[in-house]
Amino acid sequence: MNNIDPFIIKTIYDSVITIPGVVALANYTSNSSDDLITNDISKAIEIEMKDDIYQFKIHVVLLNGVNILDVMTEIQIRIKYELEKNVKNFVNHTVTVAVDDLML
């Protein structure tokens, strides 16, 4: 996962899994629905560094029937808040959320 602080990854993980409507993290490298759900954050987050800005792309599975836009927005807000609160001198970042599946 690049050379990013493991505390940042844990902060992102802890932020995402506590949000109502999020069922699980999604394995973005999966080619089948059988191994889509993962607890391994390294399989659910893509990290790039462009122009001194960290770009996080979080892959999730949501509960069917939730307002997808609201949950995606809450994920972005929560990650931003937790990173700013817990990580001193953290550089600029963007958070993109990808909903890979809905689950009953």
63: in domain: yes
Residue 20 has pLDDT above 70, yes or no: yes
Confidence of residue 6 (pLDDT cuts 50, 70, 90): confident
Q: pTM score, two decimals?
A: 0.89
**Boundaries of domain holding 86:** 6-103
Q: The tokens of 6 are what?
A: 């493991």
Confidence of residue 74 (pLDDT cuts 50, 70, 90): very high
Tell me what the mean pLDDT of segment 47-65 comes to. 91
Judge contact between 71 and 19, C-beta under 8 A: yes
1: in domain: no
User: Is the backbone of residue 33 left (phi > 0), alpha (psi -120 to 50) or beta?
Assistant: alpha
Judge contact between 28 and 41, C-beta under 8 A: no
Tell me which of 71 and 6 has the higher pLDDT.
71
60: in domain: yes
CATH number (domain holding residue 43): 3.30.70.1350
